[in-house]
C-alpha cells in the first residue's frame, strides 16, 4: 500500500513540479503572485485536446501513448507560452499598479482564460481520446498500481526539468535569468536586457505549466476549472520550496505532491492520538486542506521556504 | 447646500466620476422602473434584486473595512459569508443536523460569534504576513473551511446543504404573519398585464427592509469609524505601517480589530442570504464569491463606502443581468462563462485605466473637520486626491 501511494505520489508530484516551477519563476522575475498560472495549465491541456483530435493516433506508440499525443504535448506547451506572452505584452506590461495590483489583474486574466475555454468546450468534463490502460502487470505483485501513462508522465517531467536545469546552469539565458531572479536592479545595471529575459521567463514558465496541464488531463480528466483547482496546491508547493527558487519549487512540488497522495495513511490517526475518537482520521478529501495548512505554517515559521535565500520576508 | 435646495450647484460640485455614476444609477433605476411598469420584471423579483444588491453592499463594506481602511488583503471573504450563512442556518433550520428550530434572531448572534472566532483563527496566523502572502494564505484557509463544511456531514449535512431555513422574522410578533395578513393588491391601471402584490411581495418587502436596515447601520458605523482616531490609525497603517509602528501603535492589534470588524459585517451578509435564499450549501463558499466582492470594492474605489455600495450594485447587475440573455436564443454562448468573462475583463480594464476605482475616497487624507463645511455631505470635494490607490 505504501509503495503504491509513493509511486502515485511521484506521478502527481511530476505535475505539481511542472506547475510550480513556472509560478516561482514568474514570482521572482515579474514580481507578483500570478493567479492566472493554473488557468495557463488549462489552456495547455485544451490546446493539446484539440491538436490530438486533429492528428489522432499518428504513427506508433511509446508507453501506451501514440506519437500524436507528443505532438499535442508540444502544441500545448507552445500555446500556453504564446498565450502568456500575449497577455504579458497586452496587459501586464503597461500596468503601473504594484505587485498587489498585478495580483488582482491576474485574477481577471484567469477568469478570461477560463471563460473563453468554457465557451468553446462547455463546462463538462472531457478526456483525451486515448484508451485507458490497465496497471503494469510486472509491478502488481508489489502492490503498485501504475499504468504506462503514469510512467510516461513521470519520464516526460524528468526530461523537461532536466532540460530546464541545463538551460539555467549552462546557457547564457539561464545565467541571466538567475542573475535577474537574484537582484533585478543589479542585473539591469550590468547590461542584461531585463525585458527580454522577462519575456523568456514567461515563455519557459507558461510552457512548463502547459505541459503540466496536458499531463493533468491525462492523469485525470479535463475541465475548465482543472488548473484553477490545482493552483493553491501549486502555491503551497512554491511557498514550501521558497518563492523565487526554481530548485526549491521542484523540491516543494515533490513534497506537496507526496503529502497529497500519502494522506490516506493518516486515515487511522484517531487510533493513535489520545482524546480523539478511534474511527476518526484524515481521509483523501482533506489532502488539499493539508497542503494549505502546511503552506500557512511554512509562511509563519519560515517564509523564505526550505530553499529560500532570506529575501522572502 | 443640499440636493433639494440647489440641485444645479450640487451637480456642479461633483467630480466628473461622481456625475457619471449618478447619471448611470439614475438611468438604471429608470430602466428598472420601466421594466416594473410594463411587467417585464415582477415586483417580488425586483425586490429580490434589491435585497441581493444590499447583501453585496454589506460584503463590500466588510472588505472595505479590511482592505480599504487598513490594507489587509483578505481573500477569505467567501469563508466569512459562508460561516455567517451556515451559523444561522444550523441554528434555525428544520433540517439542521445540530440543534435547529432556534429563533433566527438568536441564529444571527450564533453566526456573528462563529465569524468572530473564525476571524481570530484566520487572523492570528496570517495578519503578520507580507501583503501577497496574506492573500495566498487567507484564500488557502478559506478553502480549508470550505472543505471541512463539505466533508463533515454530521455537522453540516455535507454536500446536501441545509434546507428548511425559516424567514428571518419567524417568531417575531406581528412581522411573522405580516406577509399573510396583508391584503393582495392588484395594480391594473398600468400598461401591460396586471400586477398582483401578494404574499411573496410583502415577504420580499420585509427582506428588503431588513437588508436596508443592516446596510444603513453598517454604513453609519463605518463612517463614524473611518473618521475616528481609530480609523486614522488604520489609514496610517495602510499607507505606511512602519510609520504607525514608530508612533508607538500596536499595528498587529489594530489590524486584528479591523479584520474582525470586517469579518462580522461579511457574516451579517451571510445571515441575510441564508434567510433570503432559505437554503445554504457548500457551493456558497466557493472562492468566486470572494472575487466578486473584490471586484465590487475595487470598482467602487478602495476605502470608499459609497463606492462599495455602487460596486455591490454593479455586481448584481452583471450577475442577474446576464440571466436575461438566456431569453435571446440567437446568442450562441452559455451565460455562465459570459458572466465570468465580463468580470475578468472588468478587473483588467479597471486595473489598466482606473486602479483607484470609480469613486475613490476623496477626503480621507485630510482631517475631516477642516473641510467639513457641509457635514451632511461629507465625502465630496477635494479633487485629484490619490488616496485609495492599490499599491502596497
Grid cell digits, residue B78: 467567501
Residue A300: per-residue pLDDT:
86
Closest by Cβ to A108, choosing from B73, B141, B348: B348
For residues A21 and A23, what is the distance between their CA atoms, to the nearest angstrom?
6
Any idea which residue has 490609525 for its cell? B233
What are B94-123's pLDDT values in tens digits?
888 877 778 888 999 999 999 999 999 999
Whether the pTM exceeds 0.95: the reply is no
Which is nearest to A254 in space by CA: A238, A266, A232, A230? A238
Which is nearest to B174 in space by CA: B211, B198, B206? B206
Closest by Cβ to B391, choosing from A91, A97, A299: A97
**What is the percentage of chain B residues whose pLDDT exceeds 90?**
35
Residue A278: per-residue pLDDT:
63
Q: For residues A86 and A228, is the Cβ–Cβ distance under 8 A?
A: no
CB atoms within 10 A of CB B150: 18
For residues A60 and A46, what is the distance between their CA atoms, to the nearest angstrom?
23
Residue B372: per-residue pLDDT:
47
Chain B residues with CB inside 8 Å of A118's CB?
334, 336-337, 340
Grid cell digits, residue A226: 482543472
What are B44-60's pLDDT values in tens digits?
888 888 899 999 999 99
| Check: complex ipTM more than 0.85 | yes
For residues A101 and A103, what is the distance between their CA atoms, to the nearest angstrom?
5
What are A203-231's pLDDT values in tens digits?
999 999 999 999 999 998 999 999 999 99
Which is nearest to B375 in space by CA: B224, B153, B261? B224
Which is nearest to B294 in space by CA: B66, B102, B119, B131? B66
Q: Residue A57: what are its φ and ψ, rounded to 5°?
A: -80, 65
Map residue B38 onto helix, strand or coil.
coil
Per-residue exposure over B45-73, b if at least 16 CB sit within 10 Å of its own CB, e if not? ebbbbbbbbbbbbbbbbbbbbbbbbbbbb
Instruction: Share the mean pLDDT of chain B.
Output: 82
Residue A148: per-residue pLDDT:
87
Q: Chain centroid to CA A10: how far?
A: 13
pLDDT above 80 (res B369): no
Chain A residues with CB inside 8 Å of B63's CB?
none
Residue A234: per-residue pLDDT:
95
With 0-12 CB in 10 A as exposed, 13-18 as middle and 19+ as buried, what is A169?
A: exposed
Instruction: Share the mean pLDDT of chain A.
Output: 88
What are A45-64's pLDDT values in tens digits?
999 999 998 887 667 777 77
CA dihedral (A277, A283, A288, A291) positive or negative: positive
pLDDT above 80 (res B174): no
Q: For residues A143 and A3, is the Cβ–Cβ distance under 8 A?
A: yes
For residues B266 and B74, what is the distance between their CA atoms, to the nearest angstrom?
12
Are residues B130 and A303, on separate chains, in Cβ contact within 8 Å?
yes
Chain A residues with CB inside 8 Å of B334's CB?
118-119, 122-123
**Residues in chain A with pLDDT values less than 50:** 310-313
Closest by Cβ to B291, choosing from A107, A119, A296: A107
Pick from A24, A256, A292, A297 the residue to mutate for testing the B interface (most B CBs within 10 Å): A292
Closest by Cβ to A105, choosing from B73, B126, B348: B348
Residue A275: per-residue pLDDT:
66
For residues A282 and A267, what is the distance between their CA atoms, to the nearest angstrom?
5
Residue B324: per-residue pLDDT:
72
Amino acid at each position: 500500500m505504501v509503495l503504491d501511494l509513493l509511486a502515485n505520489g511521484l506521478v502527481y508530484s511530476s505535475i505539481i513540479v511542472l506547475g510550480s516551477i513556472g509560478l516561482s519563476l514568474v514570482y521572482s522575475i515579474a514580481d507578483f503572485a500570478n493567479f492566472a498560472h493554473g488557468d495557463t495549465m488549462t489552456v495547455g491541456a485544451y490546446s493539446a485536446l484539440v491538436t490530438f483530435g486533429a492528428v489522432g493516433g499518428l504513427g506508433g506508440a511509446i508507453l501506451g501513448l501514440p506519437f500524436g499525443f507528443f505532438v499535442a504535448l508540444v502544441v500545448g506547451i507552445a500555446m500556453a507560452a504564446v498565450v502568456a506572452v500575449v497577455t504579458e505584452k497586452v496587459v501586464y506590461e503597461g500596468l503601473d499598479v504594484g505587485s498587489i495590483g498585478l495580483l488582482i489583474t491576474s485574477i481577471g486574466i484567469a477568469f478570461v482564460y477560463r471563460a473563453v475555454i468554457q465557451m468553446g468546450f462547455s463546462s463538462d468534463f472531457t478526456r483525451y481520446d486515448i484508451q485507458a490502460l490497465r496497471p503494469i502487470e510486472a509491478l502488481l505483485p508489489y502492490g503498485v498500481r501504475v499504468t504506462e501513462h503514469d510512467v510516461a508522465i513521470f519520464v516526460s517531467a524528468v526530461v523537461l526539468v532536466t532540460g530546464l536545469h541545463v538551460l539555467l546552469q549552462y546557457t547564457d539565458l539561464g545565467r541571466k535569468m538567475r542573475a535577474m531572479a537574484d537582484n533585478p536592479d543589479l542585473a539591469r545595471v550590468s547590461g542584461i536586457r531585463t525585458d527580454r529575459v522577462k519575456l523568456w521567463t514567461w515563455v519557459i514558465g507558461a510552457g512548463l505549466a502547459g505541459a503540466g496541464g496536458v499531463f493533468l488531463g491525462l492523469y485525470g480528466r479535463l475541465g475548465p476549472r482543472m488548473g484553477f483547482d490545482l493552483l493553491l496546491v501549486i502555491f503551497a508547493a512554491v511557498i514550501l520550496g521558497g518563492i523565487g527558487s526554481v530548485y526549491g519549487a521542484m523540491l516543494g512540488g515533490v513534497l506537496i505532491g507526496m503529502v497529497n497522495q500519502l494522506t490516506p495513511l493518516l486515515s487511522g490517526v484517531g487510533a493513535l492520538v489520545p482524546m480523539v475518537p478511534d474511527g476518526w482520521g484524515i481521509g483523501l478529501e482533506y489532502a488539499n486542506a493539508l497542503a494549505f495548512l502546511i503552506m500557512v505554517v511554512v509562511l509563519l515559521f519560515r517564509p523564505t521556504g526550505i530553499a529560500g535565500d532570506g529575501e522572502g520576508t | 447646500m443640499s440636493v433639494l435646495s440647489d440641485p444645479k450647484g450640487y451637480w456642479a460640485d461633483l467630480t466628473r466620476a461622481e456625475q457619471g455614476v449618478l447619471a448611470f444609477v439614475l438611468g438604471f433605476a429608470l430602466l428598472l422602473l420601466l421594466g416594473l411598469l410594463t411587467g417585464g420584471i415582477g415586483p417580488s423579483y425586483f425586490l429580490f434584486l434589491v435585497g441581493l444588491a444590499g447583501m453585496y453592499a454589506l460584503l463590500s463594506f466588510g472588505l472595505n473595512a479590511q482592505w480599504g481602511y487598513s490594507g489587509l488583503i483578505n481573500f477569505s471573504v467567501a469563508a466569512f459569508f459562508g460561516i455567517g450563512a451556515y451559523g444561522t442556518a444550523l441554528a434555525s433550520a428544520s433540517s439542521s443536523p445540530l440543534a435547529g428550530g432556534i429563533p433566527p434572531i438568536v441564529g444571527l448572534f450564533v453566526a456573528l460569534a462563529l465569524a468572530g472566532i473564525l476571524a481570530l483563527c484566520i487572523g492570528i496566523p496570517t495578519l503578520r504576513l507580507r501583503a501577497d502572502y496574506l492573500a495566498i494564505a487567507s484564500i488557502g484557509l478559506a478553502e480549508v473551511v470550505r472543505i471541512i463544511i463539505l466533508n463533515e456531514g454530521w455537522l453540516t449535512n455535507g454536500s446536501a446543504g441545509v434546507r428548511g431555513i425559516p424567514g428571518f422574522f419567524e417568531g417575531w410578533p406581528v412581522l411573522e404573519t405580516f406577509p399573510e395578513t396583508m391584503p393582495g393588491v392588484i395594480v391594473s391601471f398600468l400598461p401591460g398585464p396586471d400586477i398582483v402584490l401578494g404574499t411573496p411581495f410583502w415577504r420580499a418587502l420585509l427582506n428588503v427592509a431588513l437588508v436596508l436596515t443592516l446596510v444603513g447601520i453598517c454604513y453609519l458605523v463605518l463612517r463614524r469609524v473611518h473618521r475616528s482616531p481609530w480609523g486614522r490609525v488604520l489609514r496610517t497603517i495602510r499607507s505606511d505601517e512602519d510609520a504607525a509602528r514608530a508612533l508607538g501603535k500596536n499595528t498587529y492589534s489594530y489590524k486584528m480589530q479591523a479584520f474582525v470588524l470586517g469579518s462580522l459585517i461579511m457574516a451579517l451578509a451571510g445571515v441575510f442570504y441564508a434567510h433570503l435564499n432559505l437554503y445554504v450549501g457548500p457551493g456558497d463558499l466557493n472562492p468566486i464569491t470572494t472575487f466578486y466582492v473584490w471586484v465590487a470594492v475595487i470598482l467602487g474605489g478602495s476605502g470608499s463606502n459609497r463606492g462599495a455600495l455602487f460596486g455591490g450594485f454593479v455586481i448584481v447587475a452583471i450577475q442577474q443581468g446576464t440571466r436575461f440573455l438566456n431569453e435571446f436564443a440567437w446568442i450562441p454562448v452559455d451565460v455562465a462563462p459570459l458572466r465570468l468573462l465580463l468580470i475578468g475583463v472588468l478587473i483588467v480594464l479597471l486595473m489598466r485605466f482606473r486602479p483607484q476605482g470609480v469613486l475613490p475616497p476623496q477626503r480621507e487624507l485630510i482631517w475631516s473637520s477642516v473641510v467639513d463645511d457641509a457635514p451632511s455631505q461629507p465625502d465630496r470635494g477635494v479633487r485629484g486626491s490619490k488616496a485609495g490607490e492599490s499599491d502596497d
